[in-house]
Amino acid sequence: MTGLRLQSAWHWCALALLLASMTGCEKSNAGAEKKAAPPVKVEMATPTEKEVTDFQDFTGRLEAVESVEIRARVSGYLTKIAFDPSIELGAEVEVGDSLFEIDERPYLNTLATADAQLAQATARQKTTAAELARTEELVAKKAATARDLERDVGQNAEAVASIQVASASIAQAKLDLEFAKITAPISGRISRSVPSVGDLITPATGLLTSIVSVDPIHLYFDMDEPTLQTLQKLVREGKLKGPMEGEIPLLMGLTTDDGHPHRGKLDFIENQVDPNTGTIRVRGVFANPKPERGPRPLTPGSFARVRLPVGEPHKAVLISERAIGRNLDQSFVYVVDAENKVVYRPVTLGSLKDGMRVIVDGLTAGERIVTNGLQRVRPGSKVEPQTAAAVEE
């Protein structure tokens, strides 16, 4: 009897423990529900839709349309340097401006000597011509021999040749005298003077200075083969005029420029693709006007960024770069659906336009996307749309 009572008591204790544990589980589950994470506050926006033109970006170098090395053509002591590039940064000269002057006195003397030789030769020729005329009369009267006539003909021809030699000497003396004054053959920006006044310079001396033209200016860059083929296709379809028609625009910016403020046009494409690099050399031309103060903005030899349009204007979807996530080789965005839940969406990226990225495929203009805080959300999680200021708080 006592055993039955003990067994019954044991059953009642076990039942009480079971009920207590079930009650604890229910309370634990209820507490878990109460502690569920609230929606994440994220900044959201809708994509922008506007008309854009597709571009390809390249890098290149500016080159002068004309470049001249100034060298001496005659020898002599340098008496004058007629320019001073240190006066102003980027000093310029015009065609015909005096650059250097070599002592011209030896060449003046040479010219005077040549003039005298011409006068002497002319007088000599007059004498031989008169003697030839008399000899011809005597021969006609048979008072002189044929040998006398041949002699006078030869002397007269020699005198005529002496006149020609003297005339050539005068021409050379005048040319040397002209070369003693070195002038600018082109307009442009001049470099420093290598020699100094008093130096003896000769044609073998080497470079005296150099001049590069500055307006217009060329930009050379290498275009990849796919872009070349795209341009050729657009020209064939009549959607773009060829470089011979001067209708392919180029946008260019220097290292310190914001964007591409300089506008020019493509004016030359090389005749073949380089098989080693798969690129083709292309040239653009840009105006480089002189400002009211200071040097011109474009300098030969400078690095430049160039943008080439490769299509017609079209509607495109653009989003902020902050809204784009990257997973290995796949770009994606987080789209927020009608229930404020995050949806993973792969996208295809296009070019960058004024700080906004063109989305070629995967997104439409009316959808909402997470623009900030991508690392705090996951696909399927619920979010709470906020302004940028609210998210920062």
Ranges of each domain in the chain: 40-53+314-392, 55-63+214-309, 66-102+180-212, 105-179
- 367 or 36, higher pLDDT: 367
Per-residue pLDDT averaged across 179-189, rounded? 92
User: What pLDDT is attached to residue 33?
Assistant: 47
Mean pLDDT taken over the chain: 81
- Cβ proximity of 357 and 324 under 8 Å: yes
User: What pLDDT is attached to residue 379?
Assistant: 86
User: What pLDDT is attached to residue 13?
Assistant: 52
Cβ neighbour number for residue 63 with a 10 Å cutoff: 15
Q: What is the pLDDT of residues 99-118, one digit of tens each?
A: 999 999 999 999 999 999 98
CATH 1.10.287 fits 105-179, yes or no: yes
**At residue 389, does pLDDT exceed 60?**
no
**Angstrom distance (rounded) from CA 122 to CA 169:** 14
Task: List Cα–Cα distances, 212 to 87, 92, 305, in angstroms.
Answer: 18, 9, 22
Per-residue pLDDT averaged across 325-351, rounded? 85
User: What pLDDT is attached to residue 159?
Assistant: 84
Sign of the Cα torsion 228, 230, 234, 236 reads: positive
**Angstrom distance (rounded) from CA 280 to CA 35:** 65
**Angstrom distance (rounded) from CA 179 to CA 183:** 9
Please name the helix (run of DSSP H) or strand (run of DSSP E) that holds residue 330, with its range, or none. Answer: strand 330-336
Among 179, 189, 225, 223, smallest CA distance to 209 is for: 189
Per-residue pLDDT averaged across 318-338, rounded? 85
**At residue 14, does pLDDT exceed 90?**
no
User: What pLDDT is attached to residue 302?
Assistant: 92
- Cβ proximity of 148 and 135 under 8 Å: yes
User: What CATH topology corresponds to 66-102+180-212?
Assistant: OB fold (Dihydrolipoamide Acetyltransferase, E2P) (2.40.50)
Residue type, 159: A
Task: Select, from the ranges 36-50, 213-227, 322-336, 369-383, the one with the highest average predicted confidence (pLDDT).
Answer: 213-227
- Cβ proximity of 391 and 43 under 8 Å: yes
User: What pLDDT is attached to residue 221?
Assistant: 95
φ/ψ of 350, rounded to 5, equals -115, -150
63: which 2 tokens? 């080159």
User: What CATH topology corresponds to 55-63+214-309?
Assistant: Elongation Factor Tu (Ef-tu); domain 3 (2.40.30)
Among 271, 224, 215, 278, smallest CA distance to 243 is for: 271
User: What pLDDT is attached to residue 148?
Assistant: 75
Cβ neighbour number for residue 367 with a 10 Å cutoff: 17
Per-residue pLDDT averaged across 249-272, rounded? 88
In b/e form, how buried is each residue of 196-211, taking b as 16+ CB within 10 angstroms?
eeeeebeeeeeebbbb
Looking from the CA of 338 toward its CB, the CA atoms found within 13 Å total 0
**At residue 193, does pLDDT exceed 60?**
yes
User: What pLDDT is attached to residue 392?
Assistant: 44
Task: List Cα–Cα distances, 140 to 153, 290, 295, in angstroms.
Answer: 15, 79, 81
Please name the helix (run of DSSP H) or strand (run of DSSP E) that holds residue 14, with its range, or none. Answer: helix 2-34
pLDDT band at 35 (very low <50, low <70, confident <90, very high): low
Among 220, 215, 307, 294, smallest CA distance to 257 is for: 307
Give yes or no for a cis peptide into 216 (omega within 30° of 0): yes
Domain 40-53+314-392: CATH class, spelled out: mainly beta
